[in-house]
Chain A
Amino acid sequence: MAKDSIKIRMPALGGQGAVTAAHIAATAADTEGYYAVSNPFFGAEKRMAPSESYARIGTVPIYDRGEVIYPDIVMIYHPQVITMGKSYTMPFYAGIKENGLVIINSDKDLLTAEDRKTLDDLNVKVLTRDFTQFAIEQAGTELATNMAMLGALFGALGTVSKPAIEEGIKDRFLKKYTASGGTATLDSVIEKKFKKKMDLIQKNLDTASAAFDLTAEWCKEVGFEQMLEAPGK
């Protein structure tokens, strides 16, 4: 049965763009007509050190704030989150709710037999895929990994449309937002890479869109059902 609200936890490494992804996820959901909130983990994050962000999406007002302790969806942005324990939460799926979803960006399966059993018992589906390679193929840079992960999230949810995602991405890159020094620097690196801003946005959109389709297809294969109620009119 679809829920009236879900919580998403995104453990990543500093510099991968998980905070940006959570921001876009919430903006896109808001555009679609959901209530949505995003926030980063509140730490002194440094590049390649653990970094985490969160998004909450619902058809009812969202009061819950801060770190997500009981997530419906966990998105692992980097294999080191699991292999080196670069995570604020151990194990990475701690607190995950029944019928949940785990998306792992990795070229190999990282689950132990015990992990698998725990998740199976909770009927949590796991999608492991090398989204970094996917981003390189789609956008020509690993810096679009977060866009691939974002596309995967919405592909699995199914109730936030591609135009809303597009709106979220455009909003993030066309408006002036407050970002930490590190994020601001990365923004400008990305911009340089693509020369033109619109070029950058298009590549990001394409990456997210392709990942969306891929994940939607995967959901059908594994029987992952609609998790979140469709937004109210």
Chain B
Amino acid sequence: MALDIYKVNPEFRDIMPKEIIDLEENATWAQNQEKPRGIKELPETKELLEEHSLCAGCPEAATLRYVLSALPKPEETVIVNSTGCTSLMFPHIALHTVHSLFGNQNAVASGIKRVLEWRFPDKQKDVVVLAGDGATVDIGLDYTLQSFFRQEKITTICFDNEVYANTGGQESGMTAKGQVFKMAPTGKKFDKVPMWELAKTSGCHYSVNMTGSAPKAVAKAVREAILVAREIGPTYLNIYTPCILEIGLSANEGLGEMKAGDKHRFEFYKHVSPEAEEYLKKCKKEGIL
């Protein structure tokens, strides 16, 4: 039934704007496809994200497009957000989503996931958390980690821009040591929180640190993380999506910044638990990866 919520009744097709008809006819819903959805379809198909008000050239906006293109089954996926720049995109995602409060995203997602499992025992509904580094690692750290400890079957994606961007550029726990931001006028005094490692030791079966520079790599990680969360347990993705505004780059320089990160501070890190490893092999065999 989930895909039916996008089907426009014939009586109203003539009055509906194109973007809505497109969503029904031209988006890559998993149910309509044999092959896994992916980044390659972005140019030809209707995207799940409509126009939003992030800064021009924001790497977060681009990375969200990759994430949405890679959801294994968007029509059965709920995304939980938190306060921050990302929340300016959320109303425009063509899925059921929740904003809630600043920092409580993994708690809300835990409740949603458990109830969806209870209400739909015969369906597979994915719950994904997508929030910034302030929400995930500072104000919401307790709820992030506790959801890992409890082995909640959700995927947590942190768009790590190393700063509180929406509030105007303040230091976060994910800011690099020495960086001067507001509230750290003489530079940050402690190291960047190694959240991907905390995720591993806190029980995540899949934990990745990467940048948003390579769309395919992002899509692959998203897909693997969600599949592992379905069957095995919590998964975590830390994706560097720099705030070009706060580090003084122009709209076309975000990609270069991420590429530089790939070689240095955001060198690819991946932890996969043995159970997850085995499960992913199985997925590959079955062609769902």
Whether A and B touch directly in their complex, counting CB atoms under 8 A apart, is answered as no
Binding site for A on B (CB under 8 A): none
Question: Residues of A at under 8 Å CB distance from B?
Answer: none
